[in-house]
Structure 1
Amino acid sequence: MAKVTAEITHNHPEGIKGAQATAAAIFLARTGHSKPEIKRYVEQTFGYDLNRTCDEIRPTYHHVETCQETVPEAIIAFLESVSFEDALRNAVSLGGDSDTLACITGGIAEAFYGMPQELRDETLKRLPEDIREGYELLRFMIAKMI
């Protein structure tokens, strides 16, 4: 499914691979797999090098418009984290395309840790009412499927 949706916005094999790697990491995180299991699967399946640290990435990282230099960094930010908020801080601290990094990292971290309720509440307060209603409807629909 990640391939189908990514083909619309990322008309390049690396973009599609990045979407698939992100979706796989989220799925594995949501289904109770450990960080070492997620790391191993992403490395073996998608060929990403996840053996660097955020401290090693930070000095030279800059905005790069390619998935092969964004997705692995975002996954590393998650792998080094100890909480949802820590994961986001790791991603943003890398610099460069920090909003994209934080979105990728945050998706994996939410699946792994969950989102703290106070952060969820604050985020929802800031959304326009129609988007908040759409969010609530989506959560309701997902809950019905489970």
Structure 2
Amino acid sequence: MSAKTELHFRLDAQLTEVMRLRVQSLQQRSQKRQEGERLLQPNEAVYRLDFSKQSLRFSHWTVRLAQPGRLTIIAISQLWTPDLTNLMTRQLLEPVGVFWRAATEDTPAQCYEADAAEFGERIAELAKVRKVMYFLFAFAEGCSPESVDCSITFIVDA
């Protein structure tokens, strides 16, 4: 019998602030970003997942949007330390997770299921070699960090 574990995405306010300072610094100095560098957009924040177990298989997403809007989750595929290295676009994992809730619906968030499943499977693969993984959450169309509750459930292989 396999056990399940639900991991909640947690806002990493410190890393989000470091990335915002990078954007601010470039703007103040009238400098351009480095070739291939990915700057944090105003509607984005950095979230993290901490893996207590490494041998995981993707089960399902649980995304609750308290109000209509769109949430895009982009995984950072490589080990990345914003205090030492800038985030490069080649470090972003495909596919991304896109979840939304329309204004007329009082239903759970919808998603592109095939992409969300593949995305979850890629995260499970990376969990085999990671203790922590970082993600960019992009909030749009009325979605905000305060209105989102997001987790991913894995089956733990014994």
> Fold match, TM over 0.5?
no
Q: TM-score range by the shorter chain?
A: under 0.3
Give the number of the structure with larger relative contact order, counting CA–CA contacts within 8 Å between residues 6 or more apart. Answer: 2
Select the structure of larger CA radius of gyration.
2
Q: Which has the higher strand share?
A: 2
TM-score (norm 2): 0.25
TM-score (norm 1): 0.27
Structure number with the higher helix fraction is: 1
